Amino acid sequence: MVLKTKKPFLETKDLTVGFGGQVALDGVSLAADAGGIVCLLGRSGSGKTTFLRTLNRLNDEMGAYTKGSVNLFMDGRWCDILAPRTDLLNLRRKVGMVFQTPNLMPVSIAKNILVPLRLTSGLGKKQCRARMHKVLEQTQLWQEVGHRLDEPGLSLSGGQQQRLCLARCLALEPQILLLDEPTASLDFKAGRRIEELLIHMARSYPMLVVSHSPAQAERLAQAAFVFESGKVVHKLDKASIHRHLLEECITGSAK
C-alpha cells in the first residue's frame, strides 16, 4: 500500500482529557493528512503525549476521562473511537504505538515479536515466522540480528531495541503508527537511523510523531502541530516549520 495523495486520516473536535483534577488537553480540534509524517511539537507537559495516547485510548489505562470526539480513518471508513462500544483491543491492534524508551519484554528477540503476534492474530507458526522475517527486514534488523534471534532482546543496543519495538508493532499490521519521542533515549547516530526509517515508512503508513525538538520536526515532518498547555497554538506545514523555528529562536521562546 502506497499513499499517493494527501488524504485526511485523523480528526478531533473539542478533545478534552483530564487526570483527576488536572486537565491535560483542553479543547483540541485538529485534522491531519496521511502521506508524510505529522509531528506534534511542544514542551514537556504541553499535552502532546496525552494527545497521542488518546488515539489508541491508552489514557483509559491510567484512569483519564475523555470528552469531545476523535475520528480515525481505518478499514476504509471513519471510526469514532471514543464511542462507548468501541472494541479497544481491536483499536489498539490497528493503531500501533512505539514509546519514548524501548520497552522490550525480558525474553528473546524472536519471542518479543512472536508472542504478541500469535496471541493477537491466531496465525500458525510458519506464518508468524514469515511475518517476523518481513518486519525485521522492514526495520533493517534482519542483517544485524537475524542470526541470533534466540538471544535476549535486552542484549541489543538502544537503537536496535527501539527498532525491535517498531518491528513488534509492525508485525500486527497496524493501519496507523504513533511514535512518542522515538529517538529521545538514543544517541545522535542511532536517532538519525530511526529518523531515516520513519521517513521511509511514512510512505506506507499514516504516522504521528511526538518530538520536543523543532529541528527534528524540520527534518521529518510534512506538517506539525505545536502544543502549549493543553492547546494547539500553531498548525505548520513543511514550509512554515522552518520559519517558525527561526521566529522562536529570535523571540527566545524556543527550548
Partner 1 sequence: MTTTVVCGLLGFIAWQGGAVLGPALFFGDAPAWAAISGQVPVWDGIWPACAGTLVLVLLAAALALPFGLGCGLYLAVLAKGRKKAFCSLCINQLASTPSIVMGLFGFAMILFLRRTFLPGANTCLLLAGVCLAVLILPYIVRATQNAVEAIPLTQRLIGPSLGLTLWQNIVHCILPQASRGILGGVILAVGRAAEDTAVILLTGVVANAGLPRGVLGPFEALPFTIYYLAAEYRNQSELEIGFGACLVLLALTASLFVSARWIQRKIENTWS
| Of residues 121 and 240, the one with the C-beta less far from partner 1 | 121
What is the C-alpha to C-alpha distance for residues 178 and 236, in angstroms, rounded to an integer?
Answer: 19
Looking at 97, 156, 210, 241, which residue binds partner 1 (CB under 8 A)? 97
Q: Which stretch binds partner 1 (CB under 8 A): 104-112, 206-214, 227-235, 246-254?
A: 104-112
Asked if 106 interacts with partner 1 (CB under 8 A), we say yes
Asked if 92 interacts with partner 1 (CB under 8 A), we say yes
Question: Residue 6 Cβ, how far from partner 1 at the closest point, in Å?
Answer: 27
| DSSP E strand stretches across the chain | 8-19, 22-33, 37-41, 64-74, 77-80, 95-98, 176-180, 207-210, 221-228, 231-237
Give the three-state DSSP class for 202: coil
Looking at 16, 69, 120, 204, which residue binds partner 1 (CB under 8 A)? 120
Size of residue set near partner 1 by CB under 8 A = 28
* DSSP sequence for 102-157: ----SSBHHHHHHHHHHHHH---HHHHHHHHHHHHHHTT-HHHHTT-TTSBGGGS-
What is the C-alpha to C-alpha distance for residues 137 and 143, in angstroms, rounded to an integer?
Answer: 8
C-alpha pair distances (Å), 30 with each of 35, 70, 105, 131: 17, 10, 35, 35
In the region spanning residues 18 to 77, those forming contacts with partner 1, defined by CB under 8 A, are: 20, 56, 58, 61, 63
Looking at 156, 169, 207, 223, which residue binds partner 1 (CB under 8 A)? 169
Asked if 239 interacts with partner 1 (CB under 8 A), we say no
Asked if 116 interacts with partner 1 (CB under 8 A), we say yes
Under the rule (CB under 8 A), what is the footprint of partner 1? Answer: 20, 56, 58, 61, 63, 88-94, 96-97, 99-101, 103, 105-107, 115-116, 119-120, 168-169, 172
